[in-house]
Structure 1
């Protein structure tokens, strides 16, 4: 067994907090800090969150070329963090809606690896019949359609709405950007969606900033991933312990 596999398979008592590796596939460290704070607030004392920024690549992924670079960076960052970890991680979360490199990371790790798109879309399908995605960036609709086709979940997608501008401009949650997000959510409902996904690391934690919310379930893609990674880590730990008995 490789050193990397050893670093993620050592068992520990059930009551210890989970150790979660959160990888921001973008290179904006301020965004990593926000994602880490949101994760710690979400888990409370149930998890130790180790959040890191991709070692190289775009400040924020906005194209297929940048996603390809980020996939390499994410894999390299995960391998480095796992090799350097004093204790093994129980799960890994890729905090980027495009999930760059997720297949390669899953290939290398033996613990659950969760991405924001897959987690939020699966959650949306448990809350309604047709979902819509609201995100930032003109190239993302086409990129996400490709991603959704690969997941086999395109038949229930009512719309993908792209917000104008640079995604990092939305991190400040200004009244202007909040109004744009709110308007896009209303437009998604008009296109037939009965559950909405606010997608992307830049829009994580955005819902409390919105002036109003449509009367349908709304899913924060990052929180959906946090919830799923906790569920999968719990199942994984329980299974390993049952085998050890």
Structure 2
């Protein structure tokens, strides 16, 4: 049976539970989904500093998950719309790795140009930079952020649905896009809830991540065994173990 490892690079167990529920539903019963939570960092990633720490936390969570399992998963999904640590983890993993943003960009681009709606005002430049790095800058027409973070939106779903539906409609009308991505692990399931109120397809980044990680690996792995190419100092035992000669 295929196994998908989902890494929540923030410390919120509530977000991990949302990821587990929605990724497992999207993946289907023939896939074993294992969601792991960052052992350190922020409860919600909302600025450059927490994003930087989350990249380290994602690598650490991956190393810890490998230490607890006899074999590596079939693929890895970074459960954050922003994909912290994506390139580093892809370099270090023998199996395909993707993130919520990369997967959602690819799915949305199938419809044409697209916009992103997400929670947290500081996310816009970070998402724009990621889109540029992933070759999606031309397809991404714009980013609409709402003031509440994803964690705050998830805490009040009814209010979140109204706010997000309006933001998605505005993005579709103002930018003339063919799809809108609703980005964020904390917003899992909300795209379906607001789709009837938005005139273009609304892409759920969590569902897109599950489908892409399982069916369309973005790039072939660069190595045959998990590991890092340099020795660490002062990091976790699990990360050190994966360095040259165990660090």
Q: TM-score interval w.r.t. the shorter chain? A: 0.7 to 0.9
Q: 2:57 aligns with which of 43, 53, 73?
A: 73
Mapped pair 1:160 → 2:149: no
Query: Quick one: distance in 2 between partners of 1:39 and 1:116?
Result: 11
Aligned residue number for residue 213 of structure 1: 197
Mapped pair 1:98 → 2:98: no
Equivalent residues of 1:178, 1:211 under 8 A apart:
no
For structure 1, list consecutive stretches of 5 or more residues without a partner in the other structure.
Answer: 1-16, 241-245
Q: 1:87 aligns with which of 46, 62, 71?
A: 71
For structure 2, list consecutive stretches of 5 or more residues without a partner in the other structure.
Answer: 225-247
What TM-score does the superposition give when structure 1 sets the normalisation length? 0.84
Aligned residue number for residue 224 of structure 1: 208
Note the aligned Cα RMSD (angstroms): 1.8
Aligned residue number for residue 132 of structure 1: 115
- Matched position secondary structure for 1:154: coil
Q: Deviations over 1:70-109 (max 9, x none)?
A: 1111101101111221333111100001111111111111
- Matched position secondary structure for 1:210: helix
Aligned length: 219
Alignment of 1:5-44 (within 5 A): 17-44=1-28
Aligned residue number for residue 179 of structure 1: 162
Alpha-carbon distance, 1:210 to partner: 2.6
Q: Which is helix-richer, 1 or 2?
A: 1
Equivalent residues of 1:18, 1:90 under 8 A apart:
yes
Q: 1:56 aligns with which of 40, 45, 63?
A: 40
Q: Deviations over 1:194-242 (max 9, x none)?
A: 1110001111111233384322121111111100111146x98xxx9xx
Query: Cα gap change, 1:211/1:107 in structure 2, threshold over 3 Å: closer, same or farther?
Result: closer
Equivalent residues of 2:153, 2:159 under 8 A apart:
no
Alpha-carbon distance, 1:46 to partner: 1.5
Query: Cα gap change, 1:211/1:220 in structure 2, threshold over 3 Å: closer, same or farther?
Result: closer
